[in-house]
């Protein structure tokens, strides 16, 4: 015999949708870091992570760049560690949930701050990702979270800035 199921109260549902998308009216978050960095024109990313600064109460993206693939006996290996602030994010210390204001004014979950055996880390929300933009070694970072799009495959994306003909002649 199947167990009895309690009836749900009428009104707004608090459950997430099966497709992983948020209901209509939920805004998106786009945080462009005010920081930029300079590294090698040809680089590899060795490591990237989101960090929460307890002293400054801010979210940061930390990325380690290297010229490892481009070294030989004449060119030595060099690594650059760059930090990018992502302002506007807030951490709820009770739950560990990190949110940011959305385009509609509501707060959207970006990720969750978790304690682990070897320290702490931030786990991305399924629909959040960081884009690393680069052009000739100049680095910019943006965090995007859009619950309406559903889960993303990659939480870290690297994009080169495309050169336009207009920029060549300006």
How far is Cα 63 from Cα 130, in angstroms, rounded to an integer? Answer: 11
Share of the chain above pLDDT 90, in %: 52
Sheet holding 79-86, edge to edge: 44-53, 58-66, 79-86
- Is the pLDDT at 13 greater than 60? The verdict is no
Residue 25 confidence (pLDDT) above 90: no
pLDDT category, 119, cuts 50, 70, 90? confident
C-alpha 136/C-alpha 38 separation (Å) is 9
pTM score over 0.95: no
How do strand 29-32 and strand 44-53 relate by DSSP bridges?
unpaired
> Which pair of tokens denotes residue 15?
């459950």
- pLDDT of 127 > 90? The answer is yes
User: Who's near 76: CB < 8 A, 6+ residues apart?
Assistant: none
What does the mean pLDDT of the chain come to? 81
Question: Residues near 118 by Cβ (< 8 Å), separated by ≥ 6?
Answer: none
Mean pLDDT to the nearest integer, 51-73: 92
Q: Which residue has the higher pLDDT, 62 or 12?
A: 62
Please report, for the chain, the start and end positions of each structural domain, with discontinuous segments joined by +.
29-159
């Amino acid at each position: 015999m199947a167990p009895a199921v309690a009836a749900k109260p009428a009104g707004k549902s608090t459950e997430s949708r099966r497709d992983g998308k948020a209901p209509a009216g939920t805004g998106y978050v786009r945080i462009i870091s005010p920081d930029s960095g300079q590294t090698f024109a040809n680089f590899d990313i060795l490591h990237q992570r989101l960090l929460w600064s307890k002293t400054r109460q801010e979210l940061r993206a930390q990325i380690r760049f290297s010229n490892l693939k481009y070294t030989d006996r004449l060119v030595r290996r060099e690594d650059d560690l760059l930090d990018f602030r992502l302002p506007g994010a807030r951490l709820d210390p009770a739950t560990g949930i990190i949110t940011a204001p959305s385009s509609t004014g509501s707060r959207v979950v970006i990720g969750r701050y978790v304690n682990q055996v070897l320290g702490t880390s931030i786990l991305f929300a399924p629909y959040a990702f960081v884009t690393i933009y680069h052009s000739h070694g100049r680095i910019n970072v943006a965090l995007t979270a859009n619950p309406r799009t559903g889960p993303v495959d990659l939480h870290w994306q690297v994009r080169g800035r495309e050169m336009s003909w207009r920029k060549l002649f300006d």
